[in-house]
Amino acid sequence: MRLQQRFQIAIRSANYSLATERAYWDWVKRFIKFHKMRHPDSLTGENIRDFLTHLVMKKQVAVSTQQQALSALVFLYKQVLGRDNITITDWLNAKRPKKLPVVLSTTEASSVLSCLKGTPLLIAQLMYGAGLRLKEAVRLRVQDVDFGRMEITVRHGKGGKDRMTLLPKVTVESLQQQIEISRQLHCKALDEGVCFVHLPNALARKYPNAAKELAWQYIFSSTQLSKDPRTGNMGRHHINERGIQSAVKNAVRQAGVNKNASCHTFRHSFATHLLESGYDIRTVQELLGHANVNTTMIYTHVLNRGGKAVLSPVDR
């Protein structure tokens, strides 16, 4: 069996996302190419060390990029090739710079939102109003929104974790309209004999009729049918994130906000503005889905106090 086939079987059995599968396989190919097309089974931990050091010295990659490459190669050797005893030592680590997140003021956030409309506006309101990541927003399914309890369930978020967050009141009417659009698209697909939607893990086998139910459809369904890259089935996926990213970038420029703001800036702003309003950091941690409160603590450094709350002598 070819290495790529063995890799696909292993990573899909471990329920990794398609995006992770593609990223990991890309690193495996780059690793093989770096070592002049030698099979990974003939390489050692020293070869992995040399590749990781090359990424820093020659490619000048960020620490997160080097870490992803390492994770991909560890998965390859331990889960695909069965080399549990492989060791990697003394490679050059990329240094993680201490960076504060870009945060919009409430006025800036309102200005950017006012320059958006339609689906990009609704998704931006969910990112800013509920702390969702962009991928979490576009992957919402009909059953994930509870209008009675005003809650959103984020399923299989970063790290494969589920969490609950609030449903902003301002999004209720638009979400209901979006669900109706999704229902109409779903009914049309059923009439045409199309009833496939991607289901996580083994739910497609456990609930063979789930794809026919509205509850499992994406709220932000694409208007076009597409082929699932893993199964080859034709169905309806969620919309592409790139359109939302482009719309937000344009809105930032249009609003005259001179910050390097992106979709993720809304999530940063959500956390910071909650802390400014006096909410407990543990509550914010839970809403964001952070495993460690130290991750949430970074937002305490960007609260709207300026200069660590020190009064400048010139202002006395």
Three-state DSSP at 151 gives strand
Chain centroid, CA 87 distance in Å: 30
**C-alpha distance from residue 129 to each of 45, 123, 230, 265 (Å):** 46, 10, 34, 12
Identify the band that residue 1 occupies on the pLDDT scale cut at 50, 70 and 90. confident
Identify the band that residue 194 occupies on the pLDDT scale cut at 50, 70 and 90. confident
Establish whether 237 is a catalytic residue.
no
Identify the band that residue 160 occupies on the pLDDT scale cut at 50, 70 and 90. confident
Identify the band that residue 311 occupies on the pLDDT scale cut at 50, 70 and 90. low
Identify the band that residue 309 occupies on the pLDDT scale cut at 50, 70 and 90. low
pLDDT of residue 306: 54
Percent of the chain past pLDDT 90, that is, above it, reads: 64
More confident residue, 1 or 303: 1
Mean pLDDT throughout 112-134? 97
Mean pLDDT throughout 208-236? 88
Residues listed for the chain: 316
pLDDT of residue 10: 94
pLDDT of residue 54: 93
Show Cβ contacts of residue 110 under 8 Å, excluding neighbours closer than 6 positions: none
User: 80 exposed, middle or buried (CB, 10 Å; 0-12, 13-18, 19+)?
Assistant: buried
Residue 294 structure tokens: 């130290």
Hey, how many other C-beta atoms are within 10 angstroms of the C-beta on 19?
9
**C-alpha distance from residue 164 to each of 142, 283, 291 (Å):** 15, 11, 14
**C-alpha distance from residue 303 to each of 3, 103, 109, 272 (Å):** 50, 9, 15, 6
Identify the band that residue 234 occupies on the pLDDT scale cut at 50, 70 and 90. confident
The beta-strand segments (E) located in the chain are 145-146, 151-154, 163-166, 226-227, 234-235
Establish whether 39 is a catalytic residue.
no
Do 127 and 263 meet the contact criterion of CB atoms below 8 Å apart? yes
pLDDT tens digits along 236-282: 899 999 999 999 999 999 999 999 999 999 999 999 999 988 899 99
Catalytic residue among 141, 198, 267, 268: 267
Establish whether 169 is a catalytic residue.
no
Cα separation of 152 and 155, whole Å?
A: 9
pLDDT of residue 226: 87
pLDDT of residue 197: 87
Establish whether 264 is a catalytic residue.
yes
Q: Which long-range contacts (CB under 8 A, 24 or more apart) does 65-70 make?
A: 65/94, 66/93, 66/94, 68/23, 68/24, 68/27, 69/27, 69/30, 69/31
Catalytic residue among 35, 155, 158, 183: 158
Catalytic residue among 24, 77, 128, 299: 299
Establish whether 128 is a catalytic residue.
no
pLDDT of residue 203: 74
Cα separation of 290 and 280, whole Å?
A: 14
Do 259 and 265 meet the contact criterion of CB atoms below 8 Å apart? yes
pLDDT at 67 > cutoff 70: yes
Identify the band that residue 315 occupies on the pLDDT scale cut at 50, 70 and 90. low
Establish whether 133 is a catalytic residue.
yes
pLDDT of residue 310: 59
Cα separation of 54 and 121, whole Å?
A: 42
pLDDT tens digits along 69-95: 999 999 999 999 999 888 888 777 877
Mean pLDDT throughout 35-54? 93
Return the bridge partners of 238, or none.
Answer: 221
Catalytic residue among 133, 141, 236, 273: 133
Identify the band that residue 230 occupies on the pLDDT scale cut at 50, 70 and 90. confident
More confident residue, 13 or 30: 30
Q: Which of 270, 293, 272, 255 is nearest to 100 (CA)?
A: 272
